Amino acid sequence: MLSLRASRCRIAGFAVFLIAMGALTACGSKTGDTASGGGAVADTSGATVKVGLLNSLSGTMAISEVTVRDALKLAVDEVNESGGVLGKKIQAVSEDGASDWPTFAEKAEKLIQQDRVAAVFGCWTSASRKAVKPVFERNKALLFYPVQYEGLEESPYIFYTGATTNQQIVPALDYLKGQQNSSLYLVGSDYVFPRTANKIIKAYAAANGMKILGEDYAPLGSTEFGTIVNKVKASGADAVFNTLNGDSNVAFFKEYKSAGLTAATMPVLSVSIAEEEVKSIGTQYLADQLTAWNYYQTTAGAANQKFVKAYKARYGADKPTSDPMEAAYVSIYLWKAMVEKAGSFDVAKVKAASDGIAFDAPEGNVTVDGPSQHVYKTARIGKVGSDGLITEIWTSGKPVKPDPFLRGYPWATGLS
C-alpha cells in the first residue's frame, strides 16, 4: 500500500494517455508496400475471377455499409447463377474498412496486390474514397463507388454509380425553392462531403435569392446535438438541409423532435438518410421528413420488384432496400456489361468500353457517361412514411446527365 494516492493519479493519467493513444493508432497511416511503376495485374487466369468488396463492417459507418456489402453479394450471386462474366464465375473477396480511412487504403492495396482482383466495389464516405483514390490510380486498378457524393472529382480509375451533386443536391434545392423555402440552415458531419456540399448550396442560394441562416458541423460519430438544435430553432429558418452521416442522425432527430420541431414547422431535407437509416433512427422521429435520392424501395418498375424480392428473400422480409444498395447492385451489372463489351478484364479495355453501357436498373434505365465515368440518374425527392418506407413526392422525370464539376451551372463557377 505504498503511496497509493500518488499511484492513483499516475494510473488516472495513464488511462487518459492510453485512450488517447488508442484514438491515435486508429488514425495512424499504415499503407502497405506500393508497386513501383506499372501497376498490379489482375489474376484472371483461373476458372473464376476475383472481385473485391471493400466496406466498413465495423465502426460508426457499419450501420450503412453492411447493407451495401449485402447488395453487392446478391448481385455477384445473381451474375454467377446466370453464367458469370466471360464464362468465369465471380469470387467475391470481402474486406472490412472498419470506418477508418487509412484502413480502407491498406485493404484496397491488399485486394489489388495480394488478391489480384479484377475490380473493387465499395467505400461509402468521401473520406474513405479520397483515401483509396491514390491507391487505385497508382495501381491502375478499378473502383466502383456506389454512394452519392459531393462531386468535383473524376478519377480515371473510379466509376461513380451514385449521384453527383447535380443529380441530388441541386434537384433538392430546386425542390425546396419550388416549395417557397427562402431560408435554410445547414447541418452536417465534419468531413469532405458535407463541407463541399454546403459550398455548393451556398453558391446556389446566393444565385437564387435564398438565405443561409447558419451552418454547423459535428464530428463524425458525435451524438450530442442539444446546442445545434437550439441554434437551428432560434434561427427560424424555413427548412434544414441535413448532410449528417451515420450515428449522428439518430441523436440529431431525437433532439429535433424533443425541441418541438416537426416536418410541418421546419422540414429537414436529408441526403444521407435512406430506408436502412430510417429503420435505425425510428419513424417516430422522422415522420414526414424529406430525403433526396435516385431510388427508393417503393420506386415503380418490374426491375425494382425483382430486386426487392430477391433481396428480402435472401436477407429477411424486414430488411429494406435503399439507394446506395441499389447503386452498388447496379455497379456489378455495369462492370459485367463493360467487361463483356470489351471482351476482356483488362482495365484499359474495360474503361474504353464503358461509354454508353446501359442497364435496366431498379431505379429505371441507367447509362454510363464514358468521359466522366459517372452514370445518368433520375433525381427523386421522397417523404418518410409511418411504415418506415420513403415515397416519392417529386422527380426530375428523366435521367439527369452527370455533371460532377457543375460546368453547366453558371452560379457554380469558381467552386471547382
Partner 1 sequence: MVVLSQLFTGLSIGAVLLLIALGLALTFGQMNVINMAHGEFIMAGAYTVYVLQKSIRSAGASLLVALPVGFLVAGAMGVLLEFLLIRHLYARPLDTLLVTWGVALMLQQLARDIFGAPNVQTRAPDVLTGHVTVFSTDSGSLSLASSRLFILALAVLAVIALALTLRLSALGRRIRAVVQNRDLAAVSGIPTGRVDRLTFFIGSGLAGIAGVALTLVGPIGPAMGTNIIVDAFLVVVVGGIGQLWGTVIVAFALGVLQAMVEYSTTVSVAKVLVFLAIVAFLQWRPQGLFTVRTRSLA
Interface contacts to partner 1, rule CB under 8 A: 1, 3-5, 7-9, 11-16, 18-19, 22-23, 57-60, 62-64, 66-67, 190, 216-219, 221-224, 226-228, 230-231, 234, 247, 250-251, 254-255, 257-260, 276, 279-282, 284-285
Could you tell me the smallest distance in angstroms from the CB atom of residue 398 to partner 1? 34
Could you tell me the smallest distance in angstroms from the CB atom of residue 404 to partner 1? 28
Could you tell me the smallest distance in angstroms from the CB atom of residue 326 to partner 1? 17
Could you tell me the smallest distance in angstroms from the CB atom of residue 217 to partner 1? 6
Nearer to partner 1, 260 or 410 (CB): 260
Nearer to partner 1, 95 or 247 (CB): 247
Strand spans (E) along 63-119: 89-96
Could you tell me the smallest distance in angstroms from the CB atom of residue 47 to partner 1? 33
Residue 163 identity (one-letter amino acid): A
Nearer to partner 1, 28 or 226 (CB): 226
Task: Find where cell 479484377 sits.
Answer: 118
Nearer to partner 1, 54 or 381 (CB): 54
Could you tell me the smallest distance in angstroms from the CB atom of residue 143 to partner 1? 22
Task: Find where cell 491498406 sits.
Answer: 106
State how far the Cα of 109 lies from the Cα of 17, in Å rounded to an integer.
Answer: 31
Nearer to partner 1, 11 or 393 (CB): 11
Could you tell me the smallest distance in angstroms from the CB atom of residue 254 to partner 1? 5
Angle, CA 71 vertex, CA 65 and CA 76 arms, to 5°: 125
Nearer to partner 1, 243 or 354 (CB): 243
Could you tell me the smallest distance in angstroms from the CB atom of residue 134 to partner 1? 26
Which cell is 24 given?
491515435
Nearer to partner 1, 114 or 284 (CB): 284
Strand spans (E) along 157-311: 158-160, 183-189, 211-218, 239-243, 268-270, 290-293
Residue 352 identity (one-letter amino acid): A
Nearer to partner 1, 34 or 280 (CB): 280
Percent helix, strand and coil across the chain, each to the nearest 5: 45, 20, 40
Nearer to partner 1, 114 or 227 (CB): 227
H helices of 343-397, in order, are 347-353
380-384 and 290-293 as β-strands: parallel, antiparallel, unpaired? Answer: antiparallel
Could you give the dihedral angle defined by the CA atoms of residues 37, 39, 41 and 42, in that order, rounded to the nearest 10 degrees?
170
Which of these, 30, 52, 47, lies nearest to 112 by C-alpha position? 52
Burial of 392 (0-12, 13-18, 19+ CB in 10 A): middle
The secondary structure of residue 279, as a DSSP letter, is H
- Asked if residues 269 and 290 have their Cβ atoms less than 8 Å apart, the reply is yes
Could you tell me the smallest distance in angstroms from the CB atom of residue 376 to partner 1? 30
The secondary structure of residue 88, as a DSSP letter, is B
State how far the Cα of 136 lies from the Cα of 120, in Å rounded to an integer.
Answer: 9
